[in-house]
């Protein structure tokens, strides 16, 4: 069983429900036992409730998908912030049929690994043969992280978020882009890069 260390004083320890091993998702703790079991977090110290039952917490995993063609400073910022919010983050290159790929998938993966350097709870992967919800089912992930730069991004993301929830119960967690980076997109980085210039921010 994987464990998470907690170094705070006892009165500041995270409080939570007593979670059975068979629970698939934190949002389904009450009365719903899924087929897949999440790995659980065991906190050191006083691990029992008043009635002697063991206190355990599921590891929260999130998927940060995208074409990442190429990776931008905005992507790096969202990834860094997501890594602070979730126990594990999988950043995944997804195939986007509406976009013409500029960089080979392997090069995008290498750039993502460089962007994730120093983030110990981040892993890099790719999924180019199916839907996003297919990957989530296979990996046992219930949360998707998306960065949004403004209303236009949100209008684009909301229908997909609703579809992912309807198809597989996958929730979407939106992270607002840093205003200093909100003007940067993969398309802009590529266009500027072709002229040997780097966008500010």
* Catalytic residue positions, numbered: 75, 99, 149, 186
Q: Which two tokens stand for residue 141?
A: 């992930």
- Helix (H/G/I), strand (E/B), else coil: 51: coil
Give the count of beta carbons closer than 10 Å to the beta carbon of residue 186.
19
Rounded CA-CA distance 48/179 in Å is 45
Structure tokens at 4: 């998470």
Q: How far is CA 10 from CA 13, 45, 52, 148, 197, in A?
A: 5, 8, 17, 37, 52
């Amino acid at each position: 069983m994987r464990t998470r260390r907690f170094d705070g004083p006892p009165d500041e320890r995270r409080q939570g429900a007593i979670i059975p091993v068979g629970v698939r998702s934190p949002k389904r703790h009450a009365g719903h036992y899924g087929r897949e079991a999440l790995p659980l977090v065991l906190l050191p110290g006083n691990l029992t409730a008043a009635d002697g039952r063991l206190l355990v917490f599921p590891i929260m995993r999130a998927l940060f998908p995208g074409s990442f063609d190429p990776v931008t400073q905005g992507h790096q910022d969202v990834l860094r912030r997501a890594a602070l919010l979730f126990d594990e983050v999988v950043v995944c290159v997804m195939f986007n049929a509406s976009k013409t790929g500029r960089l080979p998938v392997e090069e995008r993966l290498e750039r993502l690994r460089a962007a994730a350097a120093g983030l110990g709870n981040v892993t890099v992967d790719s999924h180019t043969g199916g839907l996003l919800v297919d990957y989530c089912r296979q990996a046992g992930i219930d949360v998707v992280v998306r960065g949004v730069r403004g209303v236009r991004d949100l209008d684009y993301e909301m229908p997909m978020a609703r579809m992912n929830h309807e198809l597989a119960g996958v929730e979407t967690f939106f992270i607002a882009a840093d205003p200093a980076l909100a003007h940067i997109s993969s398309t802009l980085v590529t266009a500027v890069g072709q002229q040997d210039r780097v966008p500010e921010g």
